Amino acid sequence: MSDLNSRLTTLLPAWRWLRTYSPDKFKSDLLSALIVIAMLVPQGMAYAMLAGLPPIMGLYASILPMIIYAMAGSSPTLSIGPVAIISMMTFATLNPLFEVGSPVYIQAACLLAVMVGIISLLLGIFRFGFLIQLISHPVIKSFIIASALLIALGQFKFLVDVPLKANNIPEFVFSVWQYIRYSNSASLIFGLLALIFLIYLPKVLQSNAVQSRIGSTAFLTKALPLCLVVISIAAVYFLDLKAVGIKTVGEIPSGFPPLSMPYWNLDLVITLFPGAAMIAMISFVESLSIAQATALQQRSHLNSNQELVALGLSNLSAGLSSAFPVTGSLSRTVVNADAGAKTPLAGVISSLLIVVVSLYFTGFFRDLPLAILAATIIVSIWKLVDFKPFIETWRYSKADGIAMWITFFGVLCIDISTGLLLGIVSTFILLLWRISRPHIAVIGLVEGTQHFRNIQRHHVLTSNKVLSMRIDENLTFLNANTFKGFLINAMSQYADLEHVVINCSSISAIDLSALEMLEDLNAELNKLDIKLHFSEIKGPVMDKLRHSKLLNHLSGRIYLSHFQAMQELSPEVFLR
Amino acid sequence: MSDLNSRLTTLLPAWRWLRTYSPDKFKSDLLSALIVIAMLVPQGMAYAMLAGLPPIMGLYASILPMIIYAMAGSSPTLSIGPVAIISMMTFATLNPLFEVGSPVYIQAACLLAVMVGIISLLLGIFRFGFLIQLISHPVIKSFIIASALLIALGQFKFLVDVPLKANNIPEFVFSVWQYIRYSNSASLIFGLLALIFLIYLPKVLQSNAVQSRIGSTAFLTKALPLCLVVISIAAVYFLDLKAVGIKTVGEIPSGFPPLSMPYWNLDLVITLFPGAAMIAMISFVESLSIAQATALQQRSHLNSNQELVALGLSNLSAGLSSAFPVTGSLSRTVVNADAGAKTPLAGVISSLLIVVVSLYFTGFFRDLPLAILAATIIVSIWKLVDFKPFIETWRYSKADGIAMWITFFGVLCIDISTGLLLGIVSTFILLLWRISRPHIAVIGLVEGTQHFRNIQRHHVLTSNKVLSMRIDENLTFLNANTFKGFLINAMSQYADLEHVVINCSSISAIDLSALEMLEDLNAELNKLDIKLHFSEIKGPVMDKLRHSKLLNHLSGRIYLSHFQAMQELSPEVFLR
């Protein structure tokens, strides 16, 4: 029986929670679904607009993908759907190719979701989940901050109602200079009021004075964007604000999301591929951290490839149901968990509620002003813009700091994908650079102990017959020559040198270039009647060295400890 | 006084040997110069031909560069001049751009030498000598073997006297299929005789029977190519072999090498740049190993940037004196040292002798058959073609083996420069791949010792309250997630876990991504009431961690030794 269970769980991870479902759980799931939906409706429409798509697609993107993830994913609380960064990346991918909002543009957005889905699915099936590691944290952080800045800037066009461009900062500055005189002040005032509403009301609601009077305001705070939406629709409708030039969402088709394979051809697929690959990568980065937290809490085995499969299926279903690429949303997941969601059914319920909205309530949103959606995006995204990580990172590691700045300026000054790529490549180069400049030290004995330390940092005992060295990095082609050069230069200080002892305690791998360097070194030292010894070689390294010529030809010995080597090679140091 | 000496040595390394020169040394230098010259004259002409240039340029390339290196370089025996690989790379760079042997082609070859010189010079001055390390030994070896194969194949066109192409194997096979029926059998027979002469005569000369009768034949063996040259010229002249279609070198202009800046423009410089950079890199690789051996023998400080400057000046002088790119020749250096060269004056003498040859004896080479030069190249280069390194490398390290095969097929199937580039890039990728899959182990105590070992390899003591882990690699963005995933999965085996202890004895660096992973891990474990501890953190790592939040928020402790940690956290293991 438990064997059947474990098999079912592998095939359909949802089996884990389905078979123990109870009415109690349903009550908490329903409540959190209601709270999430209050966030999701305005967010979904806003993010669709961010991707350059009709708002209804933001609702579509929250239906099937959520149900599919509930069946195939491992986290009970992860809320999957439209997310700002991914929407922005979708826009950045499609904007140069098609007219924004045109039928081909919309079809291409669906195709992009299908491609992201297939790429994730294939990576998951062929166990390439580790590829996610190619992006370092500082690069992701910097990417998100810079993208958030661009996203926020990009929304100003809805506030001022002129066609500002914001693919990068220079473009934005130029288009502001070009168009700002044509801006619509009614729209701007309306938008600024919305911004003030979204920024100050939460602070008022969270103040002690208010909380002591009406109790917890957490839910109210979360529902503020929805309130703003309702208020602004009422304002447009009753005050006839369209007459002063306030642009609104307009007619939204109602009904189920149309299910169909988006139009595709090979050329289009090839053109979209780099963008799809980047989106797949970033969407995996975003949802994996949530899945990892879940696995730890449940003390369960985490299979990151299984997560990739779940994410792939969700995106595939998004593309086939007229939506655009999706991923796990950190903000909605936190709200979902806080509201007491017990199982993925919470997600399923909220997607069913979205179906109800898109069936019967789309007419309601006809008069929703675009400036309000823009304000929603600006406020939610602005929280991500934070320069503290830049300072902290720079303080901890210059290399990570450099990669961060490269990503930042790449995203802001070129475009979002090129910036990310530059950041990834720069981390590789900086890593190789660090490996090529290892820490190498001549070491000596700390008196009265068996420890050896850098002679330049500590007061230690040394012998003029024996040179002891340590390298704090694996020996590879990138540093073999540096090591040899360091050794040659260190040797020039010793007139009566008889032994060189290399401490290998920090070496976990020696590649062939380094091995040959050591063989040459051994041969060359041999000619000068100097013996080469090694100490503290690790087991796996020793296993590999046994296959090499080095050990057969070695003029000296292998010592288990460096202390033992020094005791034997230069006993006079111990007699002092 | 000694201060003046050391200053002079820095400015002009030649000062070191010039100030202690003696008649005795002159005698040995003169003798070895004579021996080297016997090799150099036919080699120089052959390598010029290999580069697609008039033979006289091979002589030019042996004059000024040698004198300049004697003044600026550090090795007393290094013989600088034309070298097969570099000539081949010159050909591969110029062949697609200009008609081989045309005046523009010749000018471009000189410009290439100037560019190689300037690149090396700049790299040396700005201390970029470490860049040489970007090429791993397996890649260099494979590159040399594959290039040698191509060089040897490329010479067949002179043996059969039809225009075979050999930029890569497919091209060669196709042109053989196309042209072989037009081959000249007289030329082929002549070439085969030369090959037999060069292959079998050394064996006969080195046999005991011959050596016992006429004494040491080492010099004679080295002078064999020159003998062959003399014999074949005589044969052509007296037997009138030109009548049967034997092609010869033809009229060679006599005189000093013309000194002038080769024709250049920006477009040409940009086109030649990638080739020049590769040639600079490979020529530095070739001569640095010789300089390193010298530095070790003399127990002197090695400054690889000084070597780059010397090589740069030599190439610059080559380009300005109507020659093509040069580097240190391993074979001639060995001969030079064996013959007893004491100082770089040996090189200077041989270059002066070359001047004599190019002034008065060029007419002598008019009747030298091209097939003979081709045979010389084939025999000297064929010694480099050896497949043992492929097997040995594969046995020691799969990653190095893969890089070797990629380089090999890249050179043979695409072209020499692309192959090298593919090889270099593949070593980077394979290195990153290895870093991303570190060796991680759950460890336990070896009974009766203070050592901890992998629980899967050894019989060790463990506690069900404490999980001990070790990672044998620096923690970076490439493996932080792998590590966390491994830990999460290992934890799923422990029901009553209270402590996790990470042994850091193999960690020499923790980048920001890994640091944040550890911070998250600490926070997440804390929620589960599990404490995180570290043991055996190295000094430099600890220095950096002090700047981080990790240590402030750490739920557990830092232990100096892992044994101490286990003694405190799970004393029951020690009571068993």
State residue A4's pLDDT score: 67
Instruction: Please write the tens of the pLDDT for every residue from A328-369.
Output: 887 788 777 777 777 888 888 989 999 988 888 888 888 888
**Which A residues in the span 468-497 are in contact with B, Cβ-Cβ below 8 Å?**
472-474, 476-482, 484-485, 488-489, 491-492
Nearest-Cα distance to chain A for B256, in Å, is: 40
CA-closest candidate to residue B318, choices B257, B254, B252: B257
Q: At what angle do helices A416-436 and A137-160 cross, to 10 degrees?
A: 160
User: Chain A contact for B509, CB < 8 A?
Assistant: yes
B136, B400 in Cβ contact below 8 A? yes
Full-model pTM: 0.77
Task: With CB atoms and an 8 Å threshold, state whether A136 touches B513.
Answer: yes
Q: Give bridge partners of residue B445 from the DSSP assignment.
A: B452, B461
Task: Please compute the mean of the pLDDT values over residues A51-71 and round it to a whole number.
Answer: 91
Task: With CB atoms and an 8 Å threshold, state whether B395 touches A439.
Answer: no
State residue B5's pLDDT score: 67
State residue B299's pLDDT score: 63
Chain B residues within an 8 Å CB radius of A132: 481
Tell me how far apart the alpha carbons of residues B192 and A466 are, in angstroms, rounded to a whole number.
56
Q: What's the token pair of residue B78? A: 């290094």
Tell me how far apart the alpha carbons of residues A9 and A12 are, in angstroms, rounded to a whole number.
5
* Interface mutation vs chain B, best among A143, A287, A296, most B CBs within 10 Å: A296
Chain A residue with minimum CA distance to B394: A512
- Give all strands of the β-sheet with B499-503 in edge-to-edge order: B452-454, B440-445, B466-471, B499-503, B531-535, B558-559
pLDDT over 90 at A246, yes or no: no
Q: At what angle do helices B416-436 and B137-160 cross, to 10 degrees?
A: 160
State residue B215's pLDDT score: 66
Nearest CB to B547 within list A396, A399, A512: A396
pLDDT over 60 at A100, yes or no: yes
User: Chain A contact for B439, CB < 8 A?
Assistant: yes
* Interface mutation vs chain A, best among B290, B330, B396, most A CBs within 10 Å: B396
Tell me how far apart the alpha carbons of residues B282 and A24 are, in angstroms, rounded to a whole number.
73
Tell me how far apart the alpha carbons of residues A431 and A399 are, in angstroms, rounded to a whole number.
8
pLDDT over 70 at A300, yes or no: no
pLDDT over 70 at A574, yes or no: no
User: Chain B contact for A561, CB < 8 A?
Assistant: no
Tell me how far apart the alpha carbons of residues B196 and B159 are, in angstroms, rounded to a whole number.
13
Over its length of 576 residues, how does chain B's per-residue pLDDT go in tens digits? 456 666 666 666 677 777 778 888 888 888 888 888 877 888 888 899 889 999 889 999 999 999 999 888 878 788 899 998 899 899 989 988 999 889 999 999 999 999 999 999 999 898 877 777 788 888 988 988 898 888 888 888 888 888 888 888 998 999 989 888 888 888 888 888 888 988 888 888 877 777 777 666 666 777 788 888 888 888 888 888 888 878 888 878 887 888 888 888 899 999 999 999 999 988 988 887 777 776 666 666 667 788 899 999 999 999 999 999 999 887 788 777 777 777 888 888 989 999 988 888 888 888 888 888 888 888 877 877 888 889 988 988 889 999 999 999 999 998 888 898 899 989 988 888 888 888 898 998 888 777 788 888 888 888 889 999 999 889 998 888 889 888 988 888 888 889 999 999 888 889 988 998 899 899 889 988 999 999 988 888 888 888 788 888 888 889 988 888 988 898 877 655
Tell me how far apart the alpha carbons of residues B546 and B542 are, in angstroms, rounded to a whole number.
6
Tell whether the torsion through CA atoms of B394, B397, B403 and B406 is positive or negative: positive
Look at residue A255 and give its three-state secondary structure. coil
Tell me how far apart the alpha carbons of residues B399 and B139 are, in angstroms, rounded to a whole number.
11
State residue A429's pLDDT score: 87
Tell me how far apart the alpha carbons of residues A183 and B68 are, in angstroms, rounded to a whole number.
71
Tell me how far apart the alpha carbons of residues B344 and A178 are, in angstroms, rounded to a whole number.
70
State residue A279's pLDDT score: 92
pLDDT over 90 at A135, yes or no: no
User: What's A186's DSSP letter?
Assistant: H
Task: With CB atoms and an 8 Å threshold, state whether B482 touches A400.
Answer: no
State residue A426's pLDDT score: 92
Q: What's the token pair of residue A346? A: 């919470």
CA-closest candidate to residue B383, choices B149, B46, B44: B149
Q: Give bridge partners of residue A443 from the DSSP assignment.
A: A454
State residue B1's pLDDT score: 45
User: Chain A contact for B293, CB < 8 A?
Assistant: yes
Strands B466-471 and B499-503: parallel
CATH architecture of A440-575: 2-Layer Sandwich (3.30)
Tell me how far apart the alpha carbons of residues B361 and A195 are, in angstroms, rounded to a whole number.
91
Residue owning tokens 């690069």: A139
Nearest-Cα distance to chain A for B137, in Å, is: 5
State residue A367's pLDDT score: 85
Reported ipTM: the value is 0.76
CA-closest candidate to residue B372, choices B35, B40, B42: B42
Chain A residue with minimum CA distance to B400: A512
Chain B residue with minimum CA distance to A428: B432
Tell me how far apart the alpha carbons of residues A103 and A290 are, in angstroms, rounded to a whole number.
35
State residue A1's pLDDT score: 45
Tell me how far apart the alpha carbons of residues B548 and B210 are, in angstroms, rounded to a whole number.
76
Alpha helices in A207-265 (DSSP H): 208-214, 218-239
Q: What is the DSSP string of A316-379?
A: HHHHHTT----EEEHHHHHHHHHTT--STHHHHHHHHHHHHHHHHSGGGGGG-BHHHHHHHHHH
Chain A residues within an 8 Å CB radius of B527: 297
Nearest CB to B301 within list A434, A492, A528: A492
Chain A residues within an 8 Å CB radius of B537: none
State residue A216's pLDDT score: 66
Chain B residue with minimum CA distance to A136: B477
The residue ranges of every structural domain in chain A are 25-387, 440-575
Tell me how far apart the alpha carbons of residues B571 and A318 are, in angstroms, rounded to a whole number.
55
User: What's A475's DSSP letter?
Assistant: B
- Which of the four pLDDT bands, split at 50, 70 and 90, describes residue A374? confident
Task: With CB atoms and an 8 Å threshold, state whether A130 touches B544.
Answer: no
Contacts of A276 (CB under 8 A, 6+ apart): A93, A112, A115, A116, A119
Strands A531-535 and A466-471: unpaired
B549, B491 in Cβ contact below 8 A? no
pLDDT over 80 at A209, yes or no: no
Q: Give bridge partners of residue B534 from the DSSP assignment.
A: B502, B558
Mean pLDDT (chain A) is 85
What separation in angstroms does the CA of B132 have from each of A47, A430, B225, B290, B405?
Answer: 49, 17, 34, 14, 21
Q: What is the DSSP string of A262-316?
A: PP--HHHHHHHHHHHHHHHHHHHHHHHHHHHHHHHHTT----HHHHHHHHHHHHH
B115, B277 in Cβ contact below 8 A? no
Q: What's the token pair of residue B265? A: 């423009």
Percent of chain A residues past pLDDT 90, beyond the cut: 23
Nearest-Cα distance to chain A for B277, in Å, is: 19
User: Chain B contact for A397, CB < 8 A?
Assistant: yes
Chain A residues within an 8 Å CB radius of B296: 488, 491, 524-525, 528
Tell me how far apart the alpha carbons of residues A63 and A352 are, in angstroms, rounded to a whole number.
7
Residue owning tokens 């064997």: A3
